[in-house]
Chain A
Amino acid sequence: MTEVKAKGQKPSGPVGAKRRVVTREQILTVFPEQTLGVHRSFAGDVWAQFKSHKGAVFGAAVFLTIVFLVFFGPMIWTIDPTFVDIRSRNQGASFAHPLGTDQLGRDLLARVLSGGRVSLAVGLTAMALSLLFGSTIGVIAGYFRRMDGPLMRFTDLFLALPLLPLLLVIVMLFREKLSGVLGPEGGIFILMVSAIGLTSWMQTARIVRGDVLALKEREFVLAAKSIGTPSRRIITRHVLPNVLSPIMVSATLGIATAIITESALSFLGLGFPPDFPTWGRLLFDAIDYTRDYPGRVIWPGLAISLTVLSVNYIGDGLRDALDPRLRGR
C-alpha cells in the first residue's frame, strides 16, 4: 500500500501530533485517477476546458476546414478564377462547375476559394496589426502611470470616431495613390489591412490596460523590480505572458470584425478591384443577378457568415478556457 500525503497537508505537523496517513485508495475516491501523477500544464488545462465547450470545438473544426479548403483547394481545383469562358456563362451546378459560373463564365467554386484566400489573409493580417497597436498602447498605458491619462484619452477619442464612414473615405482617397506605388493588388491589400488595423485596436488596448494595472501590483512584479530588472524586461518577461489570454480572445474577435469590415467595404464597391475576387466583392458582383441566380449570392455570403460564426464560437470557448475561475469546474 503506497502512502501519499493529502493535498494541502503540511509535511511535518506540530511537535507531538500524530502524522496522519492517507492511502492512495482514499485519495482516489476524491480525485479521479487521471488527475494524479499526470503533469498538468497550462496548455493542457486550457485544452481540457476548451474541449468541453461543444460550440468551440465545432467552430474550431469548421474554421480549420475553411482554412484548409481555401489554402489547398486552389491546388486541387485548378481552374483559374479569372479565366473568362463566355460560352459557358450563367451556368447552374454541374460536374464541370459545382457551384456554376458567373455572367462572364468564370468558375464560381474557383472564385470562392481564391476569394477566401484574400479575405482570410486580410482578416489575419489586420487582426495582427490591431493586436500589435492595441497591446502596445494597453501595456504602456497600464504600466507607466504618466502615459495612462494621455493614451487612454487618445483611445477614447478613437472610439468616438464614426468608423465606417471614415474607412470609406480613407479607402476612397488613398486607393489610387497606393495602387500607383505598389500595384493594384498589393496597394489595396496594404491599404485595407492598415485602415482596418488602425481603426480596431481600441477594445484590445482597454482590456490589456485593465489587466496590466492589476498585474503591476502583484508580488512577482514587485520582486522583479526589487532586484533591479529594467522595465523593458519586466514587461516582456512578466507582464506580457500574463496578459496573453485577453489578447488571444480579442484576436479571435479581431479576425471576425476584420473579415466583416473588409466584406462590407467590398460590398459598398470600395474594396478590391473587380478582377480580384474576395468574398465581399463576389457578393457585391452577384447582387444584380440575385433574382435569376440566387446561388451566386449565397455561396460567398455563406462563406463569410460561417467563418465569422466559427471564429466567434472559438473566441467564446477560449474566453471560458482561459478564465481560471471557470476552468476546472
Chain B
Amino acid sequence: MLTYTFRRTLVSIPTLLFIAFVIFFIVKLSPSDPTGNLPLTIPPEVREKIRESLGVNQPFLVQFFLWLKQIVVTEPLHWMNETFGTQFEIGQRILSYQTRSPVMDLIVQRMPQTLWVVGTSYVVGVLIAVPIGIISAYRQYSWFDQAGTFVSMVGFSVPPFFSGVLVIILFSIIIPRESMFWLPSIYDTTHEVVGWESFKFQFRQMIMPVMVLALQTTAQISRFLRASMLDNLNQDYVRTARAKGVKERSVVLLHALRNSMIPVITVIALGVPAIFGGAIITEQIFKVNGLGQLLIIAIQGGDVPTVQTITFMFAGLIVLFNLIADILYGVFDPRIRYD
C-alpha cells in the first residue's frame, strides 16, 4: 500500500509541473502591463524601472522558474515562519499587481468563505444523494426511481447561473420579507456567529448558495450510486447472503452498499475540483467575496500573478483529489494495488 501511494504521488508531480507551465504560458501571452493601472503622470523611465523590479523584462523561462520557486519554496517557508516562528531566509513573495500585497495573503483572506459554502454544499449534496441512490436502485423503475431520474436530469441540465437566479426570484422576491421563508439574496461574509439569533441568520443566508451547488452534486452522485448498486444487487454474493437468511436491511446496507461505494467514492473525490469551478459562478450570483470572485476581479484587472496563482491552486486541487481518489480506490479495492 505504501509503495502504491508513493508511486501515485510521484506520477502527479510532472502533471503538476506541466499544468503550471501551461497556465504560466497562457497568462504570460497577455498584453497586460503591470504599470497599466498606475497614474498617467508617471514618466516612462520610472515605468520601465517598475517593470524591471517586477521582473517582467526577463526571458520567459527565467520568469517561469522564478515563479515556480516562489510558489514551491518561498511561500511554504514564509508560512512556516509565520506559524512556527522559524527564521528562514525567504526571498520575494508573489505580489499582486493590483494591491501590491502578497497574493497568498489575499487568498488566505478569501479562502474561508469559499470553503464554507463549497464544503457545506458538497457534504449536503452527498448526504442527500446516498439515500436517493440506494432507494432508486432497490426499487428500480418505481415512481421514486422515475422521479429521481427526472430530478437528476434537471440537476444536470439547469446551469447554476439559472438555478441560482430562480431560487433568488422564488425566495427573496416573491416571498415577502416578513415571511419566515424569506431568504437573503446577498451572502454577508462579515457576519459573525455569536449566539442563536446570529446562527439562525447564518443558516438562512447559506441555504440558497448551498442548495444551488448541492443540486448538481446530488444529481451526479445519486446516478452513479444507483448504477453501481444495481450492478451489485444482481451479484451472486447478494443472493448468497439472502439465502443464508441475512436480514434484507443488512444485505442492502452492509453487503451491497459497501461494495457499491467503491466507485462512488472515486466520483466524490473527483467531483471536488468541479464544484470549486461551480463556486466561481455561485459566488458571482450571491455576491460571496470568495476565491472565485477574486479570480474574476484579477482577470478583469489584468493582475497576472494573482490569476496564475489562483488557477494553479485550482489545478493543484484537481491533482490532489485525483491522487486521493486513486489512493482511496487502492484502500477499498485491494485488486487495484497490485497492478
Contact = CB atoms under 8 A, between A and B. Distances in A.
A268 B277 contact: no
Contact of B153 (A170, A268, A287, A313): A313
Interface stretch (B75-83, B88-96, B102-110, B313-321): B313-321
B169 A161 contact: no
Interface string B147-165: 0000001101111011001
A260 B311 CA distance: 21
A156 B281 contact: no
B41 interface: no
Interface stretch (B15-23, B61-69, B193-201, B202-210): B15-23
Contacts of A157: 15, 18-19
B26 A264 contact: no
A312 B161 contact: no
A301 B300 contact: no
Contacts of A156: 15
Interface residues of B, number: 42
A28 interface: no
A237 to B, nearest CB: 35
B111 interface: no
Nearest to B295: A165
A277 to B, nearest CB: 16
A256 B154 CA distance: 12
A309 interface: yes
Contacts of A283: 161-162, 165
Nearest to A309: B157
Interface stretch (A39-47, A202-210, A290-298): A290-298
B280 A165 contact: yes
B173 A160 contact: no
Interface string B309-338: 011001101110010000000000000000
A254 to B, nearest CB: 14
Contacts, number: 115
A172 interface: yes
Nearest to A59: B153
Nearest to B168: A290
A280 B161 CA distance: 9
B30 interface: yes
Nearest to B285: A287
A216 B318 CA distance: 33
- Name B's interface SS: helix
Contacts of B168: 290
A301 B166 contact: yes
Given A168-B299, A268-B284, A161 B315 contact: yes
B273 A170 contact: no
A36 interface: no
Given A294-B173, A301-B165, A304-B159, A160 B19 contact: yes
A263 interface: yes
A309 B158 CA distance: 7
A294 B277 CA distance: 26
Nearest to B279: A164
A215 B163 CA distance: 42
Contact of B299 (A163, A172, A177, A309): A172
A163 B277 contact: yes
A195 B307 CA distance: 18
B2 interface: no
B29 interface: yes
Given A165-B310, A256-B157, A297-B169, A173 B15 contact: no
B27 interface: yes
A55 B146 CA distance: 11
Nearest to B307: A169
Contact of A166 (B26, B156, B173): B26
A159 B2 CA distance: 26
Query: Interface centre among A55, A164, A291, A305, by most B CB within 10 Å?
Result: A164
Contacts of B284: 267-268
A308 B277 CA distance: 19
Contacts of A287: 165, 285
A316 to B, nearest CB: 8
Nearest to A287: B165
Nearest to B310: A165
A230 interface: no
Nearest to A266: B161
Contacts of B300: 172, 269
A162 interface: yes
B162 A165 contact: no
Interface string B163-184: 0011011000100000000000
Nearest to B302: A172
Contacts of A316: 153
Given A165-B310, A264-B161, A290-B168, A160 B23 contact: no
B158 A305 contact: yes
B296 interface: yes
29 contacts: A55-B153, A157-B18, A157-B19, A160-B319, A160-B322, A161-B22, A162-B315, A162-B318, A164-B277, A165-B280, A165-B295, A165-B314, A166-B22, A168-B296, A169-B311, A172-B30, A172-B300, A294-B169, A297-B165, A298-B166, A301-B166, A302-B162, A304-B159, A304-B162, A308-B158, A308-B159, A312-B157, A313-B153, A316-B153
Given A168-B295, A169-B26, A298-B169, 15 more contacts: A157-B15, A161-B19, A162-B277, A165-B307, A165-B310, A165-B314, A169-B30, A169-B311, A172-B30, A173-B30, A270-B299, A290-B169, A301-B162, A304-B162, A305-B154
